[in-house]
Chain A
Amino acid sequence: MSAPLVSIDNLTKTFAADAPAAIETLTTQIRAGQVTGLVGPDGAGKTTLMRLIAALLTPSAGRIDVCGLDVATQGPAIHDTIGYMPQRFGLYEDLTVMENLRLYADLRGLPDSARHATYERLLAFTDLARFTGRLAGALSGGMKQKLGLACAMLRSPKLLLLDEPSVGVDPISRRELWRMVYALIADGVGVVWSTAYLDEAENCAEVIVMNAGRVLYQGDPKAMTAQMAGRVYQAHGAGSARRTLLARALTEPQVIDGVMQGEAIRLVMAEGAAPPDAAAIGAPPDTRITPAAPRFEDAFVAALGGIPKHPLTPPARKDFSDTRVAPVEARGLTRRFGDFTAADDISFSIRRGEIFGLLGPNGAGKSTTFKMMCGLLRPSAGKALVDGLDLYEAPSAARAQLGYMAQKFSLYGDLSTRQNLDFFAGAYGLSGARRRDAVAHVIETFDLEPYAKTNAGELPLGYKQRLALSCAIMHEPPVLFLDEPTSGVDPLTRREFWAYINAMVGRGVTVMVTTHFMDEAEYCDRVALVYRGQVIAVGTPEDLQSSVRSEERPQPTLEDAFITLVEARENAHKEAA
């Protein structure tokens, strides 16, 4: 085992005297030549720890040594030996890729003699050589992260700190980022990779699991996962009853975690508990319960004490089981931008009470399609229908039928929770007693009362999610559109969010969701894979998985299916060309 690159001794960081410590008496080591995963829910202190290691913050107590330098006194020397890529890397969007590189080379004082070779090496490494003249603002999420990485690596750092590098990056670019990081550690660089995506933790040699400023676990992620052996089960064959089954199973004290996995549900039992009993949780008679291989995420949720036991299920108010017209339908949707066809003859129809996912890599046309379905972008040809109403012929009436939740938090941050609710209720035409009733109802359902007077911008992340969803559903729309609703959100908040969505779907609400986050896709009944402006596959997650099953990969994940299908289409395209 190599010598520690960073050693942290009894570190404490407090930002205000009366606030709880952001990091409390933390002692750990980070080694060279491996990827150390920094894992934890939002607000766990991951970013604070990164900034402390990067000598951008000074410790309140304790000591950090980076490459033998003390962060409290030798900050500038540390800045010269490490590379740090913050969550939103400071790329200049109005400069080209090359100009950004040159600027950071100037800022980091890279000698002129070394520049040419460094640029060539980094551009080849990040595969950005073809795009040097493109504005950074016009790059896709994955390419921006690669450029950010290139800028952080200009001085060949010994330690590379990456703060949530994979947020907003599609699975294909994400694999490329990992490939790049593995190439770096082979050269002896130490990499710290913080993430809320737990499947990534399994790629790390070592993980540091944090919660509320403390370390819950440090070591090999496989060892942590192994602790869960015999506690994870899958229930197959519950069919359309699986959502209610999951909600019911989660109320059992022995069940500490449960998620949807396509047609199956995955349950994690408390330590020493018996396997789940199908009859006891009210499963349909032909439900089969089988043991499953544990994942890191199971261990992570267990380490955090399981998911909270106060299910917030919105009580049924309106039933949408009328099935005369398809609630959402795309008919030959096409959108051209000049010569470029972003969406090409896209058609699908979503059934009532279905969760339908639009999947696709960045720039594939998934967002364009989604925007046309929301009424935010006029199609060049084709129709977008909500509840049988054309969004561009009867915009106001059609929009009244849908609830929309944007990708990033987009409520009024300087208004209070209640003012936001009042406004959105009014914007959807609710007045007087109906408005008061609707607002009171969501405040009760989503437990928003303690934060009713807090500015929306200052809410904890989980409550922001709840408020955004509340604003979207107060007018009780039969259709709900969600744009990457839990991107960058930690597993607990994500579970809570999907529990609401599942409960609403149980009442006949139809949901369309865009995502490139496979855990979200697992909650979908059907997904459509969009690539190069076309739907290249539609089906249940299992259909997609089984379509790519092969000798060497008998158990493909949904992400495998995604990548295989996209690559197959890409190869077909190349052959045709």
Chain B
Amino acid sequence: MVWTRLSALVVKELLAAFRDPRGRMALIIPPLIQLFLFAYAATLEVSNVPIGVVNQDWGAQSTQLISRLEHASAFSEVRHYASEKDAQAAIDRQDVMVVVEIGQDFSRKLVSGETPSVLVLLDGRRSNGAQIVNSYVNNIVAQYAAEFGAGRGPPPDSAIVDRSWYNPNREYRNAMVPILIATLPMMTVMMIVGMSVAREQELGTFEQLLVSPLQPIEIVAGKSVPGLIVGLAQCAVITLIVIFGFGIPLLGSALVLFAALTAFLLSVIGVALFVSSLATNQQQAMMGTMVVVMPAMMLSGFSSPVQNMPDWLQPLALANPLTHILVVIRGLFLRDMPTLLAAQHIWPMAAMAVATIFVAAWMFRRKVQ
């Protein structure tokens, strides 16, 4: 009896999502577009940017340094400016975001064994990109100075050699693209689950459900299962594109990945149901979804590490299912994260799922008051 009612509800939800061609497209096309946009456009790497140079030194050393900058793959060209004033104007016009100014005594100091200084002007308006370019420039200058010194005086005491474990080439894409396996289906599931209850309330069909023998927990289950099916299908498709389309290997276990994704999606469904139980129409549900999704993204370590957040914010980040799934996905893609370690992140998501789904069921019960 319960199964009959439940399966009727699940079939109805899936039909409602897929019967309308526009609805069907809405589940398939936007996530794919976002996947490719994210992978290609929203890159944090800096490459092919012009760099400005003001060279007031006529020595051979400064010319050597500039030629190194010219050969660096990060920079498309080196633009020469006659004075600091010209360079400043170029930064104002946003022609370049970094200008390297080499002082008059650069070559002299270098030859005489003193420490020359190089001024780097950064466009603070584009702080992120400028910082990255700055570090490139620093590397090149330091390397040049070290090599120049090596031929002459005593070698420096120590040199820092860095290796990026798990992402040896520091490919931005390998770190960023796999997390779309969680974030894109999260948006879809939030939308279809969050809106479906609100839509039924608007149409008056929710009352039809409430007068039928369906129990609140059955309605919640009937709304959750289709969301889970659609969400997991999207996860699977995106995973395949990530592995075979972008050539990012999955080093860990696919089974653990999908176990984690299931727990994650269930917690998202619970939150979506909770939001929709508060909303009385689709507009409110949409707003509620946005109110939840944006902070969830920011608190997840999606773009900045959780460790950098203030102490009082960190517990909130740990209560965010997205934080945990990102750790698991990065762990499984970039290295073979041990199952035990993954489990430590799966159980908080499962706990969130159970809690939010039961709160949502309780809220639906209260609707009949």
| Interface set of A (CB-CB < 8 Å, partner B) | 374-378, 395-397, 399-400, 402, 404, 406, 408-415, 419, 422-431, 435, 471, 481
Contacts of B4 in A (CB 8 A): 426, 429-431, 435
Q: Which of B11, B23, B369 contacts A426 (CB 8 A)?
A: B11
Q: Which residues of B contact A412 (CB under 8 A)?
A: 12, 16, 203, 205
Contacts of A415 in B (CB 8 A): 12, 15-16, 19
User: In the complex, which of the residues A404, A412, A431, A481 has the most CB atoms of chain B within 10 Å of its own CB atom?
Assistant: A412
With A411-B205, A415-B12 as known contacts, state yes or no: A399 contacts B368, CB within 8 Å: no
Query: Can you give 21 contacting A-B residue pairs, CB < 8 Å?
Result: A376-B368, A395-B215, A396-B215, A397-B213, A399-B212, A404-B207, A404-B211, A406-B208, A412-B16, A412-B203, A414-B16, A415-B12, A422-B8, A424-B208, A426-B11, A427-B5, A427-B9, A427-B209, A427-B212, A471-B208, A481-B211
Chain A residues contacting B210 (CB-CB under 8 Å) are 375-376
Interface contact A402-B211, CB-CB below 8 Å: yes
Identify B5's interface contact among A402, A404, A429, CB under 8 A.
A429
Could you tell me the distance between the alpha carbons of A397 and B213 in the complex, rounded to whole angstroms? 7
A471 to B211, CA, bound (A): 12
A397 CA to B9 CA, complexed, in Å: 18
Task: With CB as the reference atom, state the residue of chain B lying closest to A404.
Answer: B211
B residues near A377, Cβ cutoff 8 Å? 368-369
Contact A399 B7 (CB under 8 A): no
**Complex: A423 Cα to B215 Cα, angstroms:** 15
Judged by a CB distance under 8 angstroms, whether B162 is at the interface is no
**Pair A427/B213 contact, Cβ less than 8 Å:** yes
**Measured between alpha carbons, how far is A435 from B369 in the docked complex, in Å?**
32
Question: Which of B211, B213, B214 contacts A374 (CB under 8 A)?
Answer: B211
Among B15, B20, B210, B211: residue with most chain A CB under 10 A: B211
Q: Is A427 touching B8 in the complex (CB atoms < 8 A)?
A: yes
Known: A412-B205, A415-B19. 16 other contacts (CB 8 A): A376-B207, A377-B369, A397-B213, A399-B211, A404-B211, A415-B12, A419-B19, A422-B8, A422-B11, A423-B9, A425-B8, A426-B5, A426-B9, A426-B12, A430-B4, A471-B208
Cross-chain contact B19 with A414 (CB below 8 angstroms): yes
Q: Mark interface residues in B67-94 (1 if CB within 8 Å of A CB, else 0).
A: 0000000000000000000000000000
- Chain A residues near B19: list those with CB within 8 A: 414-415, 419
Interface band, chain B:
20 to 34
**Chain A contacts of B208 at CB under 8 A?**
404, 406, 410-411, 424, 471
Bound-state Cα–Cα, A481 to B208, Å? 12
Closest to B8 in A: A426
Asked if B156 is at the interface (CB within 8 A of a chain A CB), the reply is: no
Most chain B Cβ neighbours within 10 Å, of A376, A408, A409: A376
Q: 0/1 per residue, B188-220, Cβ < 8 Å to A?
A: 000000000000000111011111111100000
Per a CB cutoff under 8 Å, which of B11, B204, B368 touches A423? Answer: B11
What separation, in Å, do the CA atoms of A427 and B206 have in the docked complex? Answer: 12
Instruction: Determine if B33 is an interface residue (Cβ-Cβ < 8 Å).
Output: no
Q: B294 contacts the other chain (Cβ, under 8 Å)?
A: no
- Main SS at interface, chain B: helix
What 4 pairs across the A-B complex have the smallest Cβ distances?
A: A426-B8, A410-B204, A431-B4, A423-B12
On chain B, the residues within 8 Å of A409 by CB distance are 204
Q: With A and B bound together, what is the CA distance between A430 and B20 in angstroms?
A: 26
Q: How far is the CA of A408 from the CA of B208 in the complex (A)?
A: 11
**B161 beta carbon closer than 8 Å to chain A:** no
Task: Return the chain B residue nearest A409 by Cβ.
Answer: B204
Verify B213–A429 contact, CB threshold 8 A.
yes
Task: Indicate whether B60 reaches chain A with its CB closer than 8 angstroms.
Answer: no
- What are the residues of chain B within 8 A of A408 when measuring CB–CB? 204
Q: How far is the CA of A424 from the CA of B1 in the complex (A)?
A: 13
Q: How far is the CB of A379 from chain B (nearest CB, A)?
A: 10
How far, in whole Å, are A413 and B9 apart by their CA atoms in the complex? 16
CA distance A425 to B7 in the complex (A): 11
Chain A residues whose C-beta falls within 8 Å of the C-beta of B368 in the assembled complex = 375-378
B213 contact set on A, CB distance < 8 A = 395-397, 399-400, 427-429
Which single residue of chain A is at the shortest CB-CB distance from B219? A427
Q: A376 to B1: give the CA distance in the assembly, Å.
A: 22
The answer to whether A413 and B203 have CB atoms under 8 Å apart is yes
Neighbouring B residues of A413 by C-beta, 8 Å: 203
Q: Which residues of A contact B215 (CB under 8 A)?
A: 395-396
Contact (Cβ within 8 A) B203 A410: yes
Q: Which residues of B contact A481 (CB under 8 A)?
A: 211
- Per the 8 Å Cβ criterion, residues 259-311 of B in contact with A are none
- Interfacial chain B residues near A429, Cβ < 8 Å: 1, 4-5, 213
A375 CA to B215 CA in the complex, in Å? 12
How distant is B303 from chain A, measured CB to nearest CB, in Å? 37
Give the Cβ gap from B349 to chain A, nearest Cβ, in Å: 31
Residues of B within 8 A of A404 (CB): 207-208, 211
**Complex: chain B residue closest to A380, CB-CB:** B369
Residues of B within 8 A of A425 (CB): 8
CA of A20 to CA of B317, assembled, Å: 62
Measured between beta carbons, the chain A residues less than 8 angstroms from B8 are 422-427
Instruction: Write out the residue numbers on chain B whose beta carbons fall within 8 Å of the beta carbon of A378.
Output: 368-369
Q: A374's closest neighbor in chain B, by CB?
A: B211
B34 smallest CB distance to A (angstroms): 25
In the complex, A402 Cα to B210 Cα: how many Å?
12
- CB neighbours of A400 from chain B (8 A): 213
Residues 1-28 of chain B, each 1 if its beta carbon lies under 8 Å from chain A, else 0? 1001101110110011001100100000
Nearest B residue to A435, CB-CB: B4
Nearest-CB residue, chain A, relative to B6: A426
Distance to closest chain A CB from B199 (angstroms): 10
B25 to chain A, nearest CB (A): 14
Across the interface, name the chain A residue whose C-beta is closest to B206: A410
A55 CB, nearest partner CB in chain B, Å: 32
Give the residues in chain A near B15, CB-CB below 8 Å: 415, 419
**In the assembled complex, which residues on chain A have CB atoms less than 8 Å from the CB atom of B11?**
422-423, 426
Residue of A with least CB distance to B216: A395
> In this complex, what residue of B is CB-closest to A415?
B15
Q: Which residue of A lies closest to B204 (CB)?
A: A410
Measured between beta carbons, the chain B residues less than 8 angstroms from A375 are 210-211, 368
Within 8 Å CB of B9, what residues of A? 423, 426-427
Assembled-state Cα–Cα distance A400/B12 (Å)? 20
Residues in chain A near residue B1, CB distance under 8 A: 429
Q: Measured between C-beta atoms, what is the minimum distance from A454 to chain B in Å?
A: 13
Residue of A nearest to B215 (CB): A396
Smallest CB separation, B12 vs chain A (Å): 4
